[in-house]
Structures are given as C-alpha cells and as structure tokens.
Amino acid sequence: MIRNAIQALALLLAVSLGATARGQEPVRAQEPAAAPGANDAYQVDGRDVLEVLVYGEEQLSGTLTVAEQGMIDVPLLGPVDVNGLTTLEIARHIELQLGEKYLVNPHVTVRVMEYGSKEIKVLGAINKPGLYYLTGPTTLLQILSQAGGISKVNIREVQVQRGEGTPIVVKLDDLVSGNGSGDFLLQKGDSIYIPDSLAVYVGGEVAHPGEVPYKEGMTITEAITLAGSWNATALKSTVYILRDGQRMRVNVRRILRAKDADILLIPGDQVQVPESAL
C-alpha cells in the first residue's frame, strides 16, 4: 500500500510540475489499489543476462545470456531451457542436474543482472517517452511513474496496444482513483500511448513516427505526410485508425488513387501503418 501511494504521488507530482509551468491547475487523485499478481516472481526470457553461482565451484559459475529461444549454456550441463522460469526455479533445476551427474549436494543461486527481454514502449504526452523494460511484475501506473508522469493536464485517457487486437483504453480518472479499477499488469510488447487531445499520433512504417499537431479538417493522408510520408515497406492497403478503443481499417492506397474519400481525423486519433509482408 505504501509503495502504491509513493508511485501515485510520483505520477501526480510530474503532472503537477507540468501544469505549474503552464500556469494551470494540477490534476489531483487518490492512491491506487495494488494490482492482482503484483508480487509474482519475475520470469526469465530471451536476452536477459543471468549470474549463475555454484558455491565452491568457481569454474562452473559465471554470467550467462539467455538466447532468444530461452536457452543458457551451463558448464558441464550444456544447453538448459530456462524460458519462463523464475531465478529460483532455474537454480533448483541446475542443482538437480549437477547433483545427478557431477556434484554432491550442490548449492546454486541465480540472479538477473540485466533485463533485456520484456520491452515496452511509452509514447505520447509523457515526460520521458521511449523504451522501457519490465524488470518484474509492473503495472500501468508504475510504468507511467517510471516515465516521469503525464506531461499535460488535458489528458483524459491512456491507451495500451497489446498485440494486434483492439487497444485497451483506460480513463485517467479510473487509473488514479482509490479503487485502482484502471490499473493492471503490463505484458511484454505492450505499447502505451497517452494521446494529447490537440494532436494525433502516426506510428509504424513512416519516416518520423510520433505526434502530429492537429488542425481542423486534418485527414489521414495529411497526417501521414506530416509524419514524413511512407517508408518503402509500408502496407498502404491496410492502415488502422485507433479511436476510443475501436480500430478502423482504412485502404489508403485507394484514397491515393482517388477511388475512396479521404478520412477525417479527430484529436487523439492514432494512425498505425503496418509493415508489408513482401
């Protein structure tokens, strides 16, 4: 509970500082409740760097990088599959194999030295946008705090894109409310976007992905042009507009050929340009 209070305070402080700089009233909220599963152990994944210590056996100890397939190369044992295991489970697994073949009552400890696997993105109206890594069970509110908090006071919602499905839309009031109804654990590959009501976001296969200032009457082709236009790998026939938790498919190739009307955007829209499979 104390940890959650500190995280909520950090988030609100960042918002307050941004508001004060603009001479506006800061957003206020209460402490969020803890998310279910927040105490679960971290599960190792590809690209994590592990320190494996076999007590009394320096030649068997060392730093091992988890391969993309989830394997580590342990001295004497060779490849060991650790994907999805906790560090404690990995240690017990190595102890068991060493004890069966080579050592009497071995004692092994494993810890994560570098987290290189569970990458997420935080974009939009946030003080420190960029790539972040889940170093354990991490909630949406926690990662927003790590990213310096929301940078503007006119924000109404946070969007989380998970895979190819419809984005998860969380109202900011729910996220920072006392009941914690909007908070949840993040997953590897999540993309978090905080839409500015005075901008649209263009992502994917464009030259300069990011926010584009909104103007009245802006269309999808204009937004893409302002984002530096298409990359050569863009799939123009299948572009998506994310709006209010809904995903709309748009064939921009037909628009460019004057076969379909251009699509008007509204503030806060996200335009996602996928990569062509060819």
How much of the chain is helix, strand and coil, in % rounded to 5? Answer: 20, 30, 50
Helix (H, G, I), strand (E, B) or coil at 168: strand
Cα separation values, 212 from 14, 45, 108, 139, 193, Å: 23, 35, 52, 28, 14
Report all structural domains of the chain as residue ranges with CATH numbers, in order of start: 2-40+117-194 (3.10.560.10), 49-114 (3.30.1950.10), 199-273 (3.10.560.10)
Strands 78-81 and 239-243: unpaired
Residues 49 and 72 sit within 8 Å (Cβ to Cβ): no
Higher pLDDT, 222 or 2: 222
- Strand order through the sheet with 210-213: 210-213, 199-204, 270-273, 239-243, 246-250
* 197-246 pLDDT, tens digit each: 778 999 899 999 888 888 889 999 999 999 999 999 999 999 999 887 78
Q: How far apart are CA 64 and CA 68, in angstroms?
A: 13
Look at phi and psi of residue 148 and say left if phi exceeds 0, alpha if psi is from -120 to 50, else beta: left
95 contact partners, CB below 8 Å, separation of at least 6: 106, 107, 108
How confident is the model at residue 180, as a pLDDT?
65
Residues 155 and 125 sit within 8 Å (Cβ to Cβ): yes
Q: Of 112, 64, 116, 58, whose CA–CA distance to 85 is shortest?
A: 112
pTM for the model stands at 0.54
Tokens 């908090």 appear where? 149
Reading the block at residue 192, the tokens are 């978090």
* 75-130 pLDDT, tens digit each: 999 999 998 899 999 999 999 999 998 999 999 999 988 887 788 999 888 999 99
